[in-house]
Structure 1
Amino acid sequence: MNRKTFTLATLLALSGAASAQTVLNVSTWLPPTHGASMAQVQWCEAVEKETRGSVKCNHLPKAVSAPPGTFDAVRDGLADVSFTVDGYTPGRFVFTQLAEFPFLGDSSTATSVAYQRIYEKYFAPLGEHRGVKTLAVFTHGPGIIFTVKQPVTSAADAARLKFRIGGGNINELSRLMGWNTTLKPATDSFELLSTGVMDGTFFPDESLQSMKLSMVKHATTFPGGLYNTSFVFMMNPARYNALKPEERAAIDKVSGEAATRLFAAGWDRTDAASREIQKTTGVQRQMASEAFVNEVKAKQAQLEDKWVAAAEARGLKNARAVLAEFRAETQKLK
């Protein structure tokens, strides 16, 4: 083989290798420095490593959809991979609300890993996220009441203010508590609070920094969190099914609990960092009183009954036992 023939053969081989590579378009509606966005990048790195470079990610410069439309965007192929908040589309998902009840745990890792295990065992077979390939589920860290001008020391204090919320169980709980809340994506928080349209927001700790909410000066925390928010990390099913069997196996290996732990660790890390920053920015933190906690528990009991009925209507057997198993799993993971 002469040099010209060798060069041509080499170029053809390289061209074939390049064309064989699968590139996944990955979207995030959160800032690129957010823990969830960074966890998605880590997952992509793991995919590329496990597939020896045959599958890699293209991180899109802007989200393909507003946060509430992300699930349908992935389902319809506008992005191959992304994550979203289940509660951004009220009434669409039922089983996911199990991970959003109050007082579950003081870390994202405990609630997220327990949720992933329960999801795989009970919810995935019932098609809770039909239309997409579910890669993992997770929750953010413990939910907190944040306010701009005044502290919230009781349910009555909260009832006098206006709050942004992200949907899901906290939306239902707020209604029962008589609180004035509006469902808006996390990314709207800065404008809502800086203009005074809202007096506060319900968020985990990290959101003060990731959403640049320097106007917040008060935080009311709850043992185990006032709520959690459930997320789904997902892939377009046609894109997944078009992969080679060994590539699908590699993606499966780095998904499930492995991916859940990536997202949860990122959240716990940024929650902790935010708490340290709050010490220097004048955020006044207080734990909810026993009376306040008991007021929430009384209303939450009604929501659990409602969830059990709704979950069983969608085919989940012994929903109350599943909830108890989930709570027990979070305790083991603390």
Structure 2
Amino acid sequence: MTRQTFRLAPFAAAALFAASGGALAQTVLNVSTWLPPAHGATMAQNQWCEAVEKETKGSVKCHLLPKAVSAPPGTFDAVRDGLADVSYTVDGYTPGRFIFTQVAEFPFLGDTSTATSVAYQRIYDKYFAPLGEHRGVKTLAVFTHGPGIIFTVKQPVTSAAEAAKLKFRIGGGNINELSKLMGWNTTLKPATDSFELLSTGVMDGTFFPDESLQSMRLGMVKYATTFPGGLYNTSFVFMMNQAKFDSLKPEEKAAITKVSGEHAARLFAAGWDRTDAASRDIQKTTGVQRQMANEAFVNDVKAKQAQLEDKWVAAAEARGLKNARAVLAEFRAETQKLK
């Protein structure tokens, strides 16, 4: 290469880059998770990132932050304020802030995360998204974990009265209100606090889906009480900083939209169902004693939950949702179709 050619090469490269429309330009999304790297939700978020990179032909990529930018309850505001571009959180970690989301947290909805998550996403898109309850962020998807279970360390729970004698960690949302009506002694704490609370005896048990015994290292748990369709579910929002989304090119926005919504909800749900099933297999080898709540226990929960559904209908309609009770019925019907 001649000296003249060498000097011209950078300018030629710049011209080629400009002619290609800046094809080498790249947007990096800072992605945060507060759950362990091997957790199904973290892995689903990573799969979404891979889909985004593929759909945008590499113009948008994710940078997985080495640690969470906030404690779990502060994650929504952290994404809103730009401390991270993408993350997810539990709506119930900030009690009273979100009302519509509680519809996905009621008991007896479904036996898999897939059924409740996909149904929830469809109802969310149809009724809740237009009302903007998650304002401040770009909602990418909503989902739930698998059916909620009562896990205890020292003794089984076979009735509402037995549960009232123990102390439990809970994650918030409808189960928080239900526990109060049931007269149970519960404390609202993030999932990540569970190991310390149970290992030190501060709490006697926790309400969790199956997978959490492994992801939260709860080997001290010896008993599980399950319910048909779950004692509760937990609603999650998967979100993106709004300003970051707005800064993208139209084709990049379209690509992200394509792999979000129900597509992303199914990613998170599949991860949860897979790890729930794996945990149940492990529980067989570790000797966790599982039992289904009897009819009397289930009926006690149903009686109290009916009051909460009336309360939710009134609160949701006060925030602008029309015919909230019909929306709830439609959601339940959708979960049944997806079983």
Fold match (TM-score > 0.5): yes
Is contact 2:105-2:174 (8 Å) kept?
A: yes
In the TM superposition, what are the counterparts of 1:224-303 in structure 2 within 5 Å?
224-303=229-308
Cα distance in structure 2, aligned partners of 1:229 and 1:180: 19
SS at match of 1:20: coil
Counterpart selection for 1:103 from 108, 116, 135:
108
Does the alignment pair 1:311 with 2:316?
A: yes
Q: Deviations over 1:203-228 (max 9, x none)?
A: 00000000000000000000000000
Counterpart selection for 2:6 from 1, 4, 7:
4
Residue of structure 2 equivalent to 1:188: 193
Look up the equivalent residue of 1:25 and give its one-letter code: N
Residue of structure 2 equivalent to 1:145: 150
Residue of structure 2 equivalent to 1:172: 177
Q: Deviations over 1:119-141 (max 9, x none)?
A: 00000000110110000000000
SS at match of 1:83: strand
Is contact 2:24-2:59 (8 Å) kept?
A: no
Residue of structure 1 equivalent to 2:84: 79
Residue of structure 2 equivalent to 1:126: 131
Instruction: Give the CA deviation at 1:90.
Output: 0.1
Between the two proteins, what is the percent identity of the paired residues? Answer: 87
Evaluate the alpha carbon distance shift between residue 176 and residue 19 of structure 1 in structure 2; reply closer, same or farther with a 3 A threshold. Answer: same
Cα distance in structure 1, aligned partners of 2:242 and 2:322: 27
Unaligned runs of 5+ in 2: none
Look up the equivalent residue of 1:279 and give its one-letter code: K
Residue of structure 2 equivalent to 1:47: 52
Cα distance in structure 2, aligned partners of 1:48 and 1:300: 43
SS at match of 1:156: helix
Cα distance in structure 2, aligned partners of 1:11 and 1:162: 67
State the number of aligned residues: 334
Look up the equivalent residue of 2:306 and give its one-letter code: A
Instruction: Give the CA deviation at 1:12.
Output: 4.1
Look up the equivalent residue of 1:265 and give its one-letter code: A
Evaluate the alpha carbon distance shift between residue 102 and residue 64 of structure 1 in structure 2; reply closer, same or farther with a 3 A threshold. Answer: same
Moved more, 260-269 or 17-26: 17-26
Look up the equivalent residue of 1:250 and give its one-letter code: A
Evaluate the alpha carbon distance shift between residue 226 and residue 75 of structure 1 in structure 2; reply closer, same or farther with a 3 A threshold. Answer: same
Instruction: Give the CA deviation at 1:329.
Output: 0.2
| Aligned-pair Cα RMSD in Å | 1.4
Residue of structure 2 equivalent to 1:160: 165
Look up the equivalent residue of 1:288 and give its one-letter code: A
Instruction: Give the CA deviation at 1:14.
Output: 9.0
Residue of structure 1 equivalent to 2:209: 204
Residue of structure 2 equivalent to 1:31: 36
Q: Deviations over 1:19-73 (max 9, x none)?
A: 7200000000000110000000000000000000000000000000000000000
SS at match of 2:224: strand
Unaligned runs of 5+ in 1: none
Residue of structure 2 equivalent to 1:62: 67
